[in-house]
Amino acid sequence: MADERHYSRAHIYVEGYVQGVGFRYFVVREAGRLNITGWVRNLYDGRVEIVAEGEEDDIDSFIGVVRRGPPAARVDDVKVEKVSIDRPEHNRFNIEYSGF
């Protein structure tokens, strides 16, 4: 029987003390470690937005890492919308700049 992979996309919003503390760079590093593709960006209202794609188990692990955050951050709330996908649309994980 062939090894069938199950992919997910998670759209994540992180609230708390998450800007100016290396949160986006932490997310990029952890995404690379877990073979996650997508992007992360700061929002004007102080939140961080993440779109993450990868194998379902890796996405679940990634969400757990995001909930903890880096040592300098304080994560107060994480909202996640997760859906199954056929395959990831992104080839790598990037920091997107908000331009505000």
Bridge partners (DSSP) of residue 78 are 14
Report how far residue 61's alpha carbon sits from residue 50's, in angstroms, rounded to the nearest whole number: 14
Is 54 domain-assigned?
yes
Total count of domains within the chain = 1
Phi, then psi, of 27 in degrees rounded to 5: -60, -45
Q: What mean pLDDT is predicted for residues 6-13? A: 98
Cα–Cα distance measured from residue 22 to residue 71, given in angstroms and rounded to the nearest whole number: 9
pLDDT value at residue 3: 61
Mean pLDDT for all residues in the chain: 95
Name the strand (E) or helix (H) holding 62: helix 56-68
Catalytic residue annotation = 24, 42
CATH number at residue 88: 3.30.70.100
Sign of the C-alpha dihedral computed for residues 50, 28, 65 and 86 taken in this order: positive
Whether 100 maps to a domain, the answer reads no
- 32-58 tens-digit pLDDT: 999 999 999 999 999 999 999 999 999
